[in-house]
Amino acid sequence: MLITDLLKENAASRGQDIAIVEINPKAASDRSVSWREYEEGLSYPDSARRREMTWQYFDDQANRVANFCLSRGIGRGNKAAMLMMNALEWFPIYFGILRSGAMVVPMSFRNTADEAQSCLALTDADAIFFGPEFTGMIRDIHGDIPSLATRVLVGPDTGDADFALNYSRIGSFPCDDPGIDIAPEDAAAIYFTSGTMGKPKAILQTHESILSVCRTERKHHGQTRDDVFLCMAPLFHTGSMMHWLGSLISAGGAVLLREPKPESILKTVSEEGVTIAFMLVPWAQDVLQALENDTLSLSDYELGQWRLMHIGAQPVPVELISRWKKFFPSQQYDTNYGLSEAMGPGCVHLGVDNSHKIGAIGLPGEGWQARIVDDDGNPVPQGQIGELTVRGPSVMKCYYNDPEATEAALRDGWLFTGDMGYVDPDGFTFLVDRKKDIIISGGENIYPIQIEDHIRKLSQVLDVAVIGANHKRLGEVPIAIVSVKPGCDCDEEDIMAHCEDLPRYKRPRRCVFGDVPRNPTGKIEKPRLRATYADMLLSREPVAVK
């Protein structure tokens, strides 16, 4: 069984049911159109606010993509990259590549030209499907990648894509399954790490790894055919695509919302009957701020069917969920912990029945094991901080073309996550920070997340990041970069006074006000902050801590 087989089963049993709806709040028209209308000449894809695709058409289009790939010599052992914004086309292209036997290579739409070229060269990509936003980038770099013989523009050709085929040609290929023999253990996908610790690494996953996520997601969140899943996070990242797999295995509906904003989120949940939504912390913060400021009113929307909100991809402040529960008291909540090396979310999760443990990432997921170990890989006593390691059905096969990094991350089947945490007496895992983000100040370990969580308790604070600044005597000391909520007053003295509740060595030595940069999955881009602020204390006297 493969995920492409699940798609075929859904097409056979629920062919005329809507599989996925795309909502584009910025569309030029309020028209609602079917996928087939788009195929018959509707311009791609911003001319309609709402597009939809049935399971049957999804399966047919995936077969056309597979047959197209095979006609270009792209099959077993080849790689086909995807560089696209979230769009309905993403799904049949992804499944079509897999059905051809080739490996799919999703790429970040935030890549610079140099980063995109590096990813394509690292994976020896044979083909790329790209959106119109990236025409100039691919035109400039494709000549430097000898393997990249097939280039497909997924969108209108405005005359500057003569180096590429147009996706409209896919419609002329057969919609029959090409029948490629693919084994569960065959390589299926190459994903990239988020790069928050430096240059992204390529992660090789198998078909069985992806299928196992379907089972885990359904077990954790109980999807049925009656559920409608709201998908907003970037599809190139495992955290988004893999949560949707719960809809695939249950044959439930899904909604792909482009440009999520508080109003469009609530409006989409209301109009499309959404029952499950995967959020990122910034989106939840934005929704809460709009509700607390009376910019939006819950009474304007039909939200009674919304049974579950879950968050992943980054630490979740306890205070955030407490505020959320005030507006949605009957709604279930779950924290998802995962990483691309484990095929995304689910290797550890809080569970919808454990709201009394919000703040923890939770317990080992369905089919997973987890343990906290020391630097030598030995389990540490309960309550002691160490590195989280996990073992389960979707641990990566390797870092592609990087045996040294693979050896460091995989030991005896255990994946070393790089996240530091501890286990409480009830068996719940709590994270304290990334191993590489730990600040060592005068020999003491300082975990920035603990300081960030404390500063977030201030009502004026929208977001915060704590990093280590170089210090001549102590090596490093913590400094805070704070983003203040619009219309609120907050200065450095306010932050410092609030932090007097912390042990002296954990108190920030300075506070800087500005944006807290986050990547598409919501993780703080601390390398960028360190590049800007790490040396600030060497050239300026630190603020005195009382």
Residue 411 pLDDT: 93
- Domain end among 389, 411, 436: 436
pLDDT beyond 90 at 502: no
Residue with tokens 């443990």: 357
Residue 546 burial by CB count (10 A; 0-12/13-18/19+): exposed, middle or buried?
Answer: exposed
Say yes or no: 322 and 227 in one domain.
Answer: yes
Point out which residues pair with 363 in neighbouring strands: 349
- Domain end among 400, 420, 436: 436
Q: For residue 167, what are the contacts with CB-CB under 8 A and spacing of at least 6? A: 44, 89, 129, 152, 153, 154, 155
Spatial distance between the Cα atoms of 515 and 465, rounded to a whole number of angstroms: 10
**CB–CB of 276/312 below 8 Å?**
no
Name the range with the highest mean pLDDT among 267-276, 340-349, 367-376, 444-453: 267-276
Say yes or no: 401 and 494 in one domain.
Answer: no
Residue 108 belongs to a domain = no
pLDDT beyond 50 at 42: no
Spatial distance between the Cα atoms of 247 and 223, rounded to a whole number of angstroms: 7
Say yes or no: 235 and 307 in one domain.
Answer: yes
Say yes or no: 431 and 446 in one domain.
Answer: no
Say yes or no: 506 and 381 in one domain.
Answer: no
Average pLDDT over the chain reads 88
Range name among 153-162, 172-181, 515-524 with the lowest pLDDT average = 515-524
Sign of the alpha-carbon torsion through 206, 211, 214, 216: negative
| pLDDT band at residue 431 under the 50/70/90 scheme | confident
Name the range with the highest mean pLDDT among 100-109, 157-166, 235-244, 521-530: 100-109
Say yes or no: 291 and 219 in one domain.
Answer: yes
- Domain end among 386, 409, 436: 436
**CB–CB of 60/175 below 8 Å?**
yes
- The average pLDDT across 17-32 equals 83
Residue 325 pLDDT: 93
Residue 127 belongs to a domain = no
Residue 181 belongs to a domain = no
| pLDDT band at residue 317 under the 50/70/90 scheme | confident
Q: Which token pair is 452?
A: 């960030």
Residue 158 belongs to a domain = no
- The average pLDDT across 307-331 equals 87
**CB–CB of 262/295 below 8 Å?**
yes
Q: Is this prediction's pTM over 0.95? A: no
pLDDT beyond 70 at 539: no
Say yes or no: 312 and 355 in one domain.
Answer: yes
Instruction: Give the CATH number, domain containing residue 404.
Output: 3.40.50.12780
Q: Print the domain residue range for 520.
A: 438-538
Say yes or no: 418 and 472 in one domain.
Answer: no
What number of H helices and E strands is found in the chain?
A: 15, 28
pLDDT beyond 50 at 543: no
Residue 45 pLDDT: 54
Q: Which token pair is 318?
A: 């306890």
Residue 69 belongs to a domain = no
Q: What is the pLDDT of residues 460-489, one digit of tens each?
A: 898 899 988 888 767 788 889 999 988 888
Range name among 221-225, 504-508, 527-531 with the lowest pLDDT average = 527-531
| pLDDT band at residue 359 under the 50/70/90 scheme | confident
Residue 225 belongs to a domain = yes
Say yes or no: 393 and 447 in one domain.
Answer: no
Residue 545 pLDDT: 36
Say yes or no: 407 and 533 in one domain.
Answer: no
Say yes or no: 464 and 405 in one domain.
Answer: no
Say yes or no: 421 and 476 in one domain.
Answer: no
Residue 149 belongs to a domain = no
Residue 277 burial by CB count (10 A; 0-12/13-18/19+): exposed, middle or buried?
Answer: buried
- The average pLDDT across 71-99 equals 96
Residue 35 pLDDT: 55
Count of structural domains within the chain: 2
Residue 538 pLDDT: 65
Residue 417 belongs to a domain = yes
Closest CA to 461 of 486, 433, 428, 431: 486
Residue 280 burial by CB count (10 A; 0-12/13-18/19+): exposed, middle or buried?
Answer: buried
Residue 544 pLDDT: 37
Instruction: Give the CATH number, domain containing residue 485.
Output: 3.30.300.30
φ, ψ of residue 69 to 5 degrees: the values are -55, -45
Residue 196 pLDDT: 47
**CB–CB of 283/263 below 8 Å?**
no
| pLDDT band at residue 318 under the 50/70/90 scheme | confident
* Exposure class string for 511-538: b at 16+ Cβ within 10 A, else e: bbeeebbbbbbbbbbbbebbeebbeebe
Q: What is the pLDDT of residues 395-405, one digit of tens each?
A: 999 999 999 99
How far is Cα of residue 125 from the mean position of the Cα atoms in its chain? 22
